[in-house]
Amino acid sequence: MFVTDIDCHLWNEGRWRRAWEKLGARAIEQDHAPGYHFAVWAPGAERVSVVGGFNHWNGDAHPMTPTGSSGIWQRFIPGLGAGETYKFEIRPHGGPPFLKADPFGLLCETPPNTASITARLDTYQWRDEAWMAARRAGGTRLDRPMAIYEVHAASWRRAPEDGHRPLDWRELARDLIPYVVERGFTHIEFLPVMEHPYEPSWGYQVTGYFATTSRFGSPDDFRYLVDECHRAGIGVLLDWVPGHFPKDAPGLRRFDGTALYEHEDPRQGEHQDWGTLIFNYGRHEVRSFLMTNALFWLESFHADGLRVDAVASMLYLDYSRKAGEWVPNRYGGRENLDAIDFLRELNAVTHDEQPGTVMIAEESTAFPAVSRPTWIGGLGFTFKWNMGWMHDIITYASKDPIYRRWEHQHLTFSMLYAFNENFILPFSHDEVVHGKGSMLGKMAGDHWQKAANLRALYAFMYAHPGKKLMFMGCEFGQWREWTHDQSLDWHLLEPADKGDGTRPAGYHSQIQRFVTDLNHLYQREAPLHQVDFEPAGFQWIDCNDSDASVVSLIRRAADPDDWLVAIVNWTPVIRAGYRVGVPEAGYYRELLNSDAAIYGGANIGNQGGLNTERIAAHGWAQSLSLTLPPLGAIFLKKTNRGNEVSR
């Protein structure tokens, strides 16, 4: 279990991909004596010691031994068990000693305390063998439905009977998983679950890269949550933050008295906007640290993928910097070549060693080939968030319908680049904070129109090529902007009291039911998910009717005979006799109508379906004369029911 010369060689070359097994504090037995082996990288230190409650934080009690010239120090301490607090005392060359938490620590004290805690890797008994076997055998499949429910663990639901505390990991397993299954989502994506000192950072300022936050229980408690997700058929994605880290004293900043993980030059090493430090991707050992951390979450916690935060900030040296505040690369350009190389290696390695997992880029620029294979020059991500689509469609949906005829390009522009990347369409937490309001609040009109607008928006999202992501609370139209330290407003789903003894569902529960049915339709109908990333899966029927603010389209499955039609009317006007050309004659059943009364609508539609007419439209000999609901969307599919003879 001791760090060997080969381990050191791989670490110093940036190729030790399983360093989590030996670095940090790991339980071992030496000469029949159980204890903990400690190892840490601190090449700039004059001396490193293990200190903790077990030796009264005395730096002279357990000094560590350097391992050759690798910069790695190690020490075995017999008799230690799990649950001991500890840190590393670093004595730099010139200057007083200071304390640092373990960069590879598996467990940390609950903030504001900052000590690491000895723990074990091998205590949890997994029960998701079938899921993991299918993941490995199936590989990365782009033709499967992916409807992601994005969750901030501390604020999804709280316990009002216990001081409104957040639910712990096992309580989330009890309550969150059935909710997600019922709503029809396929994946949960957690905002960072790694240890972090500052709660308003939502977890994005990580200090414990190998530790789940102790706020909600032990690492094994979180493993239980992942395990139960898999047993319920739900995938688990984790937000991962390799772009920057905070300046907190116990963390990675100047870990051994030198700029070890970060750049020395603040023009390269500091995020001015966030007050954090940037990893030095050109340093081999830093690449080992980040690479092994990614694999750690995929293997040790059975995560099904990582959503890599702030990729744009990694790719560009001048990100959010003025002229003179950044250092060009060796060719004089603005691209961060070391970060690009790291991302390519990261994606190649994770896909190779953890088949079936996905890597998702939160990337907001036009950097090319983010989700294309590394062997053709791409970055190698599985998916990329489509931030452009998200911005355009929210801009459009927030406009008063009377002005939408002049904003039509926001509906259609995304199809000019829809197949350049493997896109995820996100309505994420970033869209409902910092004064941006809630998704429902962004919509134009009165309360009824806002709800109808939101249903139409979600319907268009699911008709549009790309996988889907929705932040918690958006699925039932929470009015209030999201706050990290409050529960979602679950009381909005309670039936309204009309004073006559009846308690009909309010429009929040109606929005929730619509999203539920939309998700189940999405999973059930292959045309809505099977060919998301090729032009063969999509066809406009009419994208030019800006005067009526109506778009109509076809989505196709891999089987060219399996297809459906979606039409969205973005105005509060009922459009009777609206003609839409279709490829084949027959009866078209209405699969879903966002204006159905059960969703809070007025039941304007087509009585469940209708037959085509032999009237040419949109380049086809057959067409449908539809009644389009106001601010509504309908999905139609040709079936064998009804009169197949065109009039």
Q: Which residues contact 58 (CB under 8 A, 6 or more apart)?
A: 51
Give the integer Cα–Cα distance in Å for 469 and 621. 37
Structure tokens at 427: 């309505």
The partner residues of 253 in beta bridges, in order of sequence, read none
Closest of 361, 238, 362 to residue 296, by C-alpha: 238
Closest of 646, 598, 606 to residue 623, by C-alpha: 646
Other CB atoms within 10 Å distance of the CB of residue 356: 20
Give the integer Cα–Cα distance in Å for 478 and 439. 8
**Contact by Cβ (8 Å): 173, 224:** yes
| C-alpha dihedral sign at 458, 460, 463, 468 | negative
Sheet harboring 550-556: ordered strands across?
538-545, 550-556, 563-569, 632-639, 587-593, 609-611
- ω before 504 within 30° of 0 (cis)? no
Rg over alpha carbons for the chain, rounded to the nearest Å, is: 27
End-to-end CA distance of the chain: 80
* Residue matched to tokens 């989700």: 371
Give the integer Cα–Cα distance in Å for 460 and 455. 9
Residue 628 backbone dihedrals phi, psi, to 5 degrees? -90, 125
Strand residues in 418-562 grouped as ranges (E): 423-427, 467-471, 538-545, 550-556
Cα distances (angstroms) measured from residue 576 to each of 307, 404, 601, 626 = 44, 20, 17, 6
Give the integer Cα–Cα distance in Å for 176 and 173. 6
Give the integer Cα–Cα distance in Å for 246 and 158. 28
Give the integer Cα–Cα distance in Å for 281 and 341. 8
Give the integer Cα–Cα distance in Å for 114 and 111. 6
Other CB atoms within 10 Å distance of the CB of residue 248: 17
Give the integer Cα–Cα distance in Å for 136 and 300. 15
CA 372 to chain CA centroid, nearest Å: 19
Show which residues are catalytic: 309, 362
Give the integer Cα–Cα distance in Å for 215 and 107. 11
Closest of 595, 592, 590 to residue 570, by C-alpha: 595
Q: How many residues does the chain have?
A: 647
> How many H helices and E strands in the chain?
13, 30
**Contact by Cβ (8 Å): 212, 195:** yes
**Contact by Cβ (8 Å): 43, 261:** no
Give the integer Cα–Cα distance in Å for 564 and 528. 8
